């Protein structure tokens, strides 16, 4: 099944790939109207902190920690002057808490020294700050400053390769190649929608191919089960039954447990 799907797109031209990518992006927008940044924040600094904490853990776990953290540390100066042991204890549930504490303290110090405590809104400035790489910078730009950015996390990397948009593992190269396919104004929301699709439909080990709205346009169709009943059992998230309906699958095939299944990192 996968082989047949791949062969369908074997002779695809660059313009054909761009047209298909944009059609898939449109379907993703229809499939995941609830896609959004799942980290809770009220200002750019909070988003930067939450994104740093999200490494190697879930957004849900980060959101359990940040309310207390944000009450304790309101400004960059607060992070710069933080007691290391106290912050480590707060961050312990997120994992790698010592390294994350170090990043947040150094981030606060750099912001105070270079930017009067204000987070900059330019990519080059952001990636020069402690704890912030391109992925984190694009999250901040797109969601705190409304500057379009493509966030290449593990889901985005996996799905763009499966979609045949790229044949690449390097996150920066993926970012640039997808930027050539999709209109700039759509970059931030595309990132959220692809990530939602990766968490809820196109799973790493066994994607729900038979219950996917992108099936007809995907070279990797058949990587997971194509039979509706088997595929529907793989859908996850609060809209699992709606995802089944969108793919033309009986929503009653979706197990009740799938609707409350936690998102994976």
CA end-to-end span of the chain: 29
- Using an 8 Å Cβ cutoff, are 70 and 101 in contact? no
**Tokens in use for 30?**
């229809």
Contact, 57 vs 95, CB < 8 A?
yes
**Catalytic-labelled residue, pool 78, 125, 153, 186:** 153
Catalytic residue among 100, 135, 233, 236: 135
Q: Helices H, strands E: what count in the chain?
A: 15, 0
Asked if 135 is an active-site residue, the reply is yes
Among 208, 259, 245, 197, which residue's Cα sits nearest to residue 35? 197
C-alpha span between 246 and 248 (Å, rounded): 6
For residue 26, indicate whether it is catalytic.
no
Question: What span, in angstroms and rounded, lies between the C-alpha atoms of 265 and 255?
Answer: 22
Short-list 235, 122, 127, 218, CA closest to 171: 127
Eight-state DSSP code of residue 190: H
Q: Catalytic site residues?
A: 135, 153
């Amino acid at each position: 099944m996968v082989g047949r799907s791949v062969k369908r797109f074997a002779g695809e031209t660059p313009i054909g790939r761009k047209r298909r990518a944009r059609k898939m992006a449109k379907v993703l927008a229809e499939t995941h109207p609830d896609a959004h940044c799942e980290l809770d924040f009220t200002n750019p600094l909070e988003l930067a902190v939450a994104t740093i904490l999200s490494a190697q853990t879930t957004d849900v776990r980060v959101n359990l920690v940040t309310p207390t953290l944000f009450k304790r540390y309101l400004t960059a100066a607060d992070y710069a002057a933080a007691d290391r042991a106290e912050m480590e204890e707060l961050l312990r549930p997120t994992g790698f808490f010592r390294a994350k504490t170090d990043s947040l303290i150094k981030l606060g110090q750099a912001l105070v020294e270079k930017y009067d405590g204000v987070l900059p809104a330019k990519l080059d400035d952001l990636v020069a700050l402690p704890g912030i790489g391109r992925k984190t910078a694009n999250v901040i730009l797109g969601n705190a400053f409304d500057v379009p950015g493509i966030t290449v996390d593990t889901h985005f990397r996996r799905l763009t390769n499966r979609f045949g948009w790229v044949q690449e593992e390097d996150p920066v190269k993926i970012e640039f190649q997808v930027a050539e396919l999709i209109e700039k104004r759509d970059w931030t929301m595309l990132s959220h929608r692809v990530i939602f699709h990766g968490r809820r439909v196109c799973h790493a080990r066994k994607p729900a191919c038979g219950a996917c709205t992108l099936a007809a346009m995907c070279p990797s169709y058949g990587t997971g089960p194509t039979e509706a009943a088997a595929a529907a059992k793989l859908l996850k998230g609060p809209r699992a039954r709606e995802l089944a309906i969108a793919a033309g699958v009986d929503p009653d095939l979706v197990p009740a447990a799938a609707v409350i299944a936690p998102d994976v990192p």
